């Protein structure tokens, strides 16, 4: 049985708090060599507790999400590019759902100043982002507000979503499986997302490429239920084959620091 060392336990706790850890920062924090930290990270990754990235690692727990403030900072430029690309798919005078997630919030930022939109959301951050836009009408779903991230969940939320049939749904996911499964952590949130998908004419999935390496325990649905998938990196060949088979359009948004473009 693998028992992490005290330093490895602290590294895991730090990853849960901030989402990503780097070799150089950890070496400085613990006054050890980068090689020692790499050994720690390799052992944690071998046990599936972390996932290696260039220069460090990210949390890969399948049962616990990264803290909200940390998620906001992870892949920030990529999420901004995804948000702008997805917003460009939404015409003026459209109705749309927007669910919980830091990437959907970037879509909301890109929609500020648009004309004649009706936005129904269970994300209080989306509300605050769009509130200054005089030509965007916002309807907030009722229900329990999660203090951790400002998401609204529960039966009252599902009831409100059920009353609408909108043009577009902008949804996020915490993880995307190689088989096309869309996954998340909170069963209550997932039920709302499922109802959003069910009550939209067109579904746009927004998710950065880190979601390809993560796991989560609750199934939202399958990528075949999506019309357009906007991400920052071309998915694996297996996932691309699924998207082609199910007529899912994949759009790859290039961030300000990246020259990649559409797949």
Output the six-digit token pair for 97: 């759902």
Within 10 Å of residue 77's Cβ, how many Cβ atoms? Answer: 14
Q: Which of 260, 257, 259, 252 is nearest to 85 (CA)?
A: 252
Q: Which of 60, 79, 104 is the last residue of a domain?
A: 60
Work out the pLDDT band at 157, boundaries 50, 70, 90. Answer: very high
Under DSSP, the state recorded for 216 is -
Report, as an integer, the average pLDDT of 148-163.
Answer: 91
Between 16 and 44, the more confident residue is: 44
Does 100 reside within a domain? yes
Tell me the per-residue pLDDT of 248-260, one tens digit each, with 9 for 90 and over.
999 999 876 554 4
Q: Domain check: are 83 and 157 in the same one? A: yes
Beta strand pairing call for 181-184 and 175-176: antiparallel
Is 62's pLDDT higher than 80? no
Contact 239, 176 (CB under 8 A): yes
Q: Domain check: are 95 and 53 in the same one? A: no
Contact 255, 81 (CB under 8 A): yes
Output the six-digit token pair for 121: 């959301």
Q: What is the pLDDT of residue 20?
A: 80
Report how far Cα 67 is from the mean position of its chain's Cα atoms.
12
Is 61's pLDDT higher than 60? no
Is 66's pLDDT higher than 80? no
pTM, entire model: 0.77
Domain of residue 46: give its range.
6-60
Tell me the per-residue pLDDT of 161-181, one tens digit each, with 9 for 90 and over.
999 999 999 999 999 999 999
């Amino acid at each position: 049985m693998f028992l992490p060392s005290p330093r490895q336990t602290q590294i895991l706790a730090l990853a849960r708090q901030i989402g990503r850890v780097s070799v150089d920062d950890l070496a400085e924090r613990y006054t050890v060599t980068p090689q020692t930290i790499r050994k720690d990270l390799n052992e944690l990754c071998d046990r599936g507790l972390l996932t290696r990235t260039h220069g460090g690692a990210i949390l890969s727990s399948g049962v616990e999400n990264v803290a909200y403030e940390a998620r906001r900072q992870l892949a920030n430029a990529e999420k901004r590019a995804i948000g702008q690309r997805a917003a460009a798919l939404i015409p003026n005078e459209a109705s749309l759902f927007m669910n919980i997630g830091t990437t959907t919030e970037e879509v909301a930022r890109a929609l500020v100043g648009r004309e004649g939109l009706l936005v129904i959301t269970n994300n209080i951050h989306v509300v605050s982002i769009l509130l200054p836009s005089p030509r965007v009408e916002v309807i907030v779903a009722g229900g329990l507000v999660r203090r951790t991230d400002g998401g609204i969940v529960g039966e009252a939320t599902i009831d409100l979503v059920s009353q609408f049939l909108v043009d577009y749904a902008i949804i996020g996911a915490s993880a995307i499986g190689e088989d096309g499964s869309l996954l998340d952590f909170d069963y209550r949130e997932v039920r709302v997302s499922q109802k959003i998908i069910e009550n939209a004419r067109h579904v746009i999935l927004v998710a950065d490429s880190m979601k390809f390496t993560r796991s989560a325990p609750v199934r939202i649905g399958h990528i075949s239920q999506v019309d357009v998938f906007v991400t920052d990196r071309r998915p694996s060949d297996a996932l691309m084959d699924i998207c082609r088979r199910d007529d899912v359009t994949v759009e790859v948004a290039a961030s300000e620091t990246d020259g990649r473009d559409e797949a």
